[in-house]
Amino acid sequence: MQDDFTISFWFKPENAGRSAPNDGFPRDRSVQEKWWVYYTALIDAEVPMDVNDFGITWGNSAVHFGIGNPAMSIHVKDVAVGKWHHVAATRVKSTGRVELYVDGVLGSSGNGPKQSLTDATYITAGRIQSGAAEWKDSYFKGWMADL
């Protein structure tokens, strides 16, 4: 999974997910919006730094879909906690087009980088795989199905 793809699954979150970190480092909130990695992973092919990676995360009652190098993210806000939701994230390499659907409705779209997303060696579900300290305890709390 590196060029054109669609990732779809059902999920039911137990809580609103992780908020962007408040760890004392000065951060521009507009930059945080671009980095899906600040939230709890649903599907993750994240590699530290701004490289050719991607992921779908959950935080602040929103689903985020991001692509790296340069980092960009789209999101759908106000997703209800405690209910099942269907998520589908698509990417077309030739145009860089990304789309994020929640419960069958296109909630957000944008244009990202056009290179192959080859830096992650594996994909995880329910956690950010980089292992950095700022992502500790960021496991998804809830249920996922039909990935």
Number of structural domains in the chain? 1
Rounded Cα distance between 61 and 52, Å, is: 26
| Model confidence, pTM | 0.87
Q: How far does Cα 15 stand from its chain's mean position?
A: 17
Burial class (CB in 10 A: 0-12, 13-18, 19+), 28: exposed
Query: Higher confidence at residue 71 or residue 22?
Result: 71
CATH for 102 = 2.60.120.200
Residues 46/56, Cβ–Cβ less than 8 Å = no
Mean pLDDT of all residues in 24-36: 54
**Model confidence over 94-121: pLDDT tens digits?**
999 999 999 999 999 999 999 989 888 8
Query: Higher confidence at residue 37 or residue 28?
Result: 37
Give the structural domain span for 86: 5-145
